[in-house]
């Protein structure tokens, strides 16, 4: 899949929303349409625009050139259109928002009016009622594209023509592994382990829960120098750093450490 993000510097919420909404002559395809909303209420464009504007008012750092909203597109190769249905598009939308950031505000609509099926999203420039920017660094954007493609290859291997080789060498597989995956349409063992660990990290609120959830996935944690370093699957070790998930794991321990300190202060 190809993912594009276009930053918009002016508050053109209504213009973008009306652009991505289903056109009148497409409404007969009810099985091929949905409007997916996240952190938004109501069913009228006017209501959505008002909520986007109210959320923008929370922005902490205001300066000329702020990204007020973004137009984001997920598109697929035309040769895979035969295998793509509305439920698959809905699933990709939910996963994209999960990876992009659940604290954002989104409206997403699939478009089937070209050979390349695609999803349009209107995304807020700041996180929901926090005022913090939704901006992605170059590395974060690259990680987002890689994670979405890994999810696609693991769950929808039939979309073989929509596999894109992303450029960041360290974050992607080695060439031989990549070519094998592209031919077979199957996610490698390393990618499967990576996705399992990531899913567990999203669910875990503590180090103990994280380890228990890993073991439920038949992944045995292993330590180096007294520090949790990775997992064992069978006889093979997978380091969190090599898998590209170390930051997610460290955040679990940091949150737990802060909670412990706060509890000590409360006492």
pLDDT score of 188: 74
Query: Cα angle at 196 between 36 and 232, to 5 degrees?
Result: 170
**Section 138-158 average pLDDT:** 92
- Output the pTM of the full model: 0.64
**Section 136-150 average pLDDT:** 92
Other beta carbons less than 10 A from residue 155's beta carbon: 15
Which CA distances in Å does 125 have to 44, 74, 138? Answer: 20, 18, 16
pLDDT score of 267: 65
- CATH (residue range 2-134): 3.30.930.30
**Section 68-78 average pLDDT:** 95
In this structure, are residues 85 and 62 in contact, taking their beta carbons and an 8 Å threshold?
no
pLDDT score of 181: 60
29: pLDDT strictly greater than 50: no
Q: Where in the chain is the domain with CATH 3.30.930.30?
A: 2-134
> Which of 9-13, 87-91, 215-219 has the lowest average pLDDT?
215-219
Chain mean position to CA 189: 21
pLDDT score of 179: 58
pLDDT score of 16: 95
Radius of gyration, alpha carbons of the chain: 21
CA distance 176 to 246: 24
């Amino acid at each position: 899949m190809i993912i594009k993000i276009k930053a918009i510097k002016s508050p053109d919420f209504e213009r973008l929303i009306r652009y991505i909404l289903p056109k009148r002559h497409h409404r007969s395809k009810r099985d091929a349409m949905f409007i997916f909303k996240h952190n938004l209420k109501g069913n009228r464009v006017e209501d959505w625009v008002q909520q986007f504007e109210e959320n923008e008012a929370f922005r902490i750092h205001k300066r000329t050139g702020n990204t007020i909203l973004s137009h984001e597109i997920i598109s697929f190769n035309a040769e895979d259109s035969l295998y793509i249905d509305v439920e698959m598009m809905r699933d990709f939308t939910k996963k994209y928002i999960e990876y992009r950031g659940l604290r954002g505000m989104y409206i997403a609509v699939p478009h089937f009016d070209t050979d390349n099926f695609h999803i349009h999203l209107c995304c807020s420039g700041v996180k929901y009622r926090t005022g913090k920017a939704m901006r992605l660094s170059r590395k974060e954007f690259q990680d987002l594209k890689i994670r979405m493609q890994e999810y696609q290859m693991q769950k929808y291997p039939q979309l073989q023509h929509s596999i894109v080789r992303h450029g960041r060498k360290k974050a992607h597989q080695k060439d031989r592994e990549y070519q094998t995956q592209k031919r077979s349409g199957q996610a490698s063992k390393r990618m499967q382990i990576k996705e399992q660990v990531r899913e567990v990290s999203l669910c875990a609120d503590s180090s103990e829960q994280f380890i228990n959830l890993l073991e439920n996935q038949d992944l045995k944690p292993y330590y180096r120098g007294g520090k949790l370093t990775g997992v064992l699957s069978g006889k093979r070790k997978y380091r969190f750093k090599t898998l590209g998930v170390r930051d997610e794991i460290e955040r679990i321990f940091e949150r737990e450490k802060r909670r412990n300190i706060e509890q000590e202060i409360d006492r």
